[in-house]
């Protein structure tokens, strides 16, 4: 389905009873080795499943081509993330933009995918903003519904308007939101808060001798999922600072699961089986992205790629 007003592409899947179980993986960011390891670990729990990636597939990590090959090998379903949109935009405008004006990690990614750029661009063009389906749980929980809606997005959605009323920007970038109190209509606005800027600001504040008071924007903001109270289960990535997150109904049935656990930053890669409410993690082999320098660490002690 496509929402013409917001230009959203939302794809539907059959209910659990008519398809393989889903294994939904958080932001991979070019970490192909960990993705392969996670898939093999997941097979120990459910041997056959439909692999799905929640976006931010290729950038900020050492092996975007390896991730592309895993996607092809497993016929993985993928969702558009903010970094996927940025990479698509960069490739599309390659003739109009100066290569040297790009961020260093973007130049590194373009070099790493140079022989697969056409294929990866075609994949990026086809990515939807969300998948919707119905989970038929395999667990025996007396207080749980036997089936419930499942929505998979990259970042978040507007719980006051539902999926089709959510803007593309919110689907791709929302971590924090705030109420717009200036207009006639009470509505949610995305509060820009990139992982890198949050970590750098946190580092600066922790070493400061004086405690800075929070800005009015920081006082007003809250995470988008605070407004979601079901019945749909929403699985999302994008929020590496929050890490693995689970919000439930009083019965214990999940209604929000966040699975971006910062693999490229040296933490872990996480996947989730909604049919059995199980999260699986593998540790990152090492830190692949230097937040301060904003570059991909292609080898343990190598901080820069010579681009020709």
Q: Report the pLDDT value the prediction gives residue 194, as an integer from 0 to 100.
A: 67
Count of structural domains, the chain: 1
Q: Report the pLDDT value the prediction gives residue 99, as an integer from 0 to 100.
A: 73
| Domain contains 12 | no
Which strands sit side by side in the sheet containing 176-180, from one edge to the other? 187-191, 176-180, 222-223
Q: Does the structure show a pLDDT above 90 at 86?
A: yes
- pLDDT one-digit tens code per residue, 243-298: 999 999 999 999 999 999 999 999 999 999 999 999 999 999 999 999 999 999 99
CA angle 14, 78, 33 (to 5 degrees): 125
* Percentage of residues of the chain with pLDDT beyond 70: 85
- pLDDT one-digit tens code per residue, 18-30: 999 999 999 999 9
Q: Report the pLDDT value the prediction gives residue 138, as an integer from 0 to 100.
A: 94
- pLDDT one-digit tens code per residue, 217-246: 567 899 999 999 999 999 999 999 999 999
Torsion of CA 163, 165, 170, 171, to 10 degrees: 30
Show the domain range for 174. Answer: 20-194+219-296
- For 66, other C-beta atoms within 10 Å of its C-beta total 19
| Domain contains 92 | yes
CA 151/CA 214 separation, integer angstroms? 33
Q: Report the pLDDT value the prediction gives residue 199, as an integer from 0 to 100.
A: 60
Q: Report the pLDDT value the prediction gives residue 118, as an integer from 0 to 100.
A: 96
Report the run of H or E that residue 188 belongs to, with start and end.
strand 187-191
- pLDDT one-digit tens code per residue, 39-83: 999 999 999 999 999 999 999 999 999 999 999 999 999 999 999
Residues linked to residue 296 through DSSP beta bridges, in sequence order? 289
- pLDDT one-digit tens code per residue, 148-190: 999 999 999 999 999 999 999 999 999 999 998 776 677 899 9
| Domain contains 292 | yes
| Domain contains 178 | yes
CA 170/CA 189 separation, integer angstroms? 8
More confident residue, 200 or 269: 269
| Domain contains 207 | no
Looking at residues 81-105, what average pLDDT do you find? 87
Beta strand 268-273 with 22-25: parallel, antiparallel or unpaired?
Answer: antiparallel
| Domain contains 1 | no
The model's pTM is 0.90
| Domain contains 3 | no
Contact 227, 160 (CB under 8 A): yes
More confident residue, 6 or 40: 40
CATH code, domain with 119: 3.60.21.10
| Domain contains 2 | no
């Amino acid at each position: 389905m496509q929402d013409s007003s917001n230009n959203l592409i939302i794809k539907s899947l059959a209910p659990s009873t008519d398809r393989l179980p889903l294994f939904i993986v958080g932001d991979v960011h070019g970490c192909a080795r960990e993705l392969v390891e996670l898939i093999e670990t997941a097979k120990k729990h459910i041997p056959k499943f439909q692999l799905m990636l929640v976006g931010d597939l290729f950038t900020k990590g050492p092996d975007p081509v390896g991730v592309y090959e895993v996607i092809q090998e497993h016929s993985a379903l993928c969702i558009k993330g903010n970094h996927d949109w940025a990479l698509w935009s960069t490739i599309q405008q390659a003739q109009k933009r100066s290569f040297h004006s790009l961020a260093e990690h973007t130049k590194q990614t373009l070099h790493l995918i140079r022989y697969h750029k056409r294929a990866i661009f075609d994949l990026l063009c086809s990515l939807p903003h969300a998948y919707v389906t119905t989970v038929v749980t395999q667990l025996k929980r007396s207080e749980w519904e036997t089936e419930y809606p499942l929505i998979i997005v990259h970042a978040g959605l507007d719980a006051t308007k539902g999926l089709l009323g959510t803007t593309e920007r919110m689907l791709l970038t929302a971590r924090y939101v705030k109420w717009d109190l200036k207009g006639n209509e009470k509505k949610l606005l995305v509060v820009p808060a990139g992982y890198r800027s949050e970590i750098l600001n946190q580092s600066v504040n922790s070493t400061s001798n004086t405690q800075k008071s929070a800005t009015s924007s920081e006082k007003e903001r809250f995470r988008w999922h605070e407004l979601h109270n079901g019945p749909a289960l929403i699985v999302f990535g994008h929020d590496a600072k929050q890490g693995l997150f689970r919000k439930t109904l009083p019965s214990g049935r999940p209604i929000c699961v966040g699975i971006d656990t910062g693999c490229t930053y040296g933490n872990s890669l996480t996947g989730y089986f909604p049919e059995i409410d199980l999260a699986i993690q593998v540790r990152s082999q090492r830190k692949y992205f230097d937040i301060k320098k904003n570059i991909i660490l292609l080898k343990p002690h190598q901080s820069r790629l010579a681009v020709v």
